[in-house]
Amino acid sequence: MCSAAHPADSLNWTELAAAIDRDGFALTPPLLTPDECAAVRDMFDDLDRFRSTVVMARHQFGEGVYRYFAHPLPDPVARLRAEFYPHLARVANTWATRLGTPAFPLDLADLHALCAAAGQHRPTPLILRYGPGGYNCLHQDLYGEVVFPLQLAIMLNTPDADFTGGENVFVEQRPRAQSRPMVARPTLGQGMIFTVRDRPVPSPTRTWRRVTLRHGVSEIHTGSRHTLALIFHDAE
C-alpha cells in the first residue's frame, strides 16, 4: 500500500472544484498516512482531548458515538483544517458570487471571528466511531447562523478489512424534483469534501438555484469504522 499523504496545496483544485460543483462532494487522494490514521483513531479513547461525547441513539441520530475535540486541536486536526480552509474558501466564494451572498474570509481565524460575533465559540472537529449495526441518519452539520458551506471527512479505517458495509451516503434535494442518492466509499486516509447545506446549480429559468445536500452513513455490517470530520464553522 502507498503510504504517502498528500498536502492540500498539492491537490488538483480545478478538478476537485469541478466535482464538488457537479455532485456536491468529491473524494481526495489520501491525506493521512496509515500511521497517522491509527494515531487519530487512538485519540478517541483519550477523553481529555474532547469537549463532549454524543451517543447517537439517545438523540435518534443513528447508532454510534462521536466526540467533539476541545481546544487546543491536536495535529493533524489543526494542520488539516488550516491547510484546507483557504482552498475551500475559494470554492465557497465562487458559490457566494453565484448566489449573491457575502463572501467568506480567506483566513480561518477571520471565519472564527465571524462565528464568535454570532455566539459560536466551540470547536466542531470530531471523531465518529461505529461498530456492527452502526449507522448515521441523513443530516446537515449546522451549529448556528454562520455556516461555512463545505466540510472535510477523512476515512480512518480500511473498508472490507477493518469493517464491511458503512458507505457514505449523500442525498441531493432539488426544488420540485425527486431526490438524487449518491454513495462514496473512501479508502484508508482518503478525504471527502462535501456540501454542508446547499450549493448553487445552473437553473433552466434563472441563473442559479440552490440544491440541498444531506449526508449519512449506511449500516456497518461487521467490524469498527472511524472517521475524522472537519467542520470549519464553530458551534454555539
Footprint of Fe ion on this chain (CB under 5 A)?
141
User: Is the Cβ of residue 13 or residue 51 nearer to Fe ion in the bound state?
Assistant: 51
Whether 182 and 188 have beta carbons less than 8 Å apart is answered as no
Helices (DSSP H) in the chain: which residue ranges?
A: 13-23, 34-43, 77-99, 108-117
CB of 194 to Fe ion, least distance (A): 9
CB of 96 to Fe ion, least distance (A): 22
Angstrom distance (rounded) from CA 225 to CA 219: 11
User: Is the Cβ of residue 23 or residue 141 nearer to Fe ion in the bound state?
Assistant: 141
User: Is the Cβ of residue 73 or residue 106 nearer to Fe ion in the bound state?
Assistant: 73
Collapsed DSSP state (helix, strand, coil) of residue 58? helix
Q: Which among 31, 77, 27 has a CA at the least distance from the CA of 193?
A: 27
Cα within 13 Å of Cα(65), Cβ side: 12
User: Is the Cβ of residue 139 or residue 221 nearer to Fe ion in the bound state?
Assistant: 139
User: Is the Cβ of residue 141 or residue 162 nearer to Fe ion in the bound state?
Assistant: 141
CB of 44 to Fe ion, least distance (A): 16
Unique residue bearing C-alpha cell 434563472: 206
CB of 139 to Fe ion, least distance (A): 6
With CB atoms as reference, the residue minimizing the distance to Fe ion is: 141
* Angle (CA) 234 109 11, round 5°: 95
CB of 13 to Fe ion, least distance (A): 23
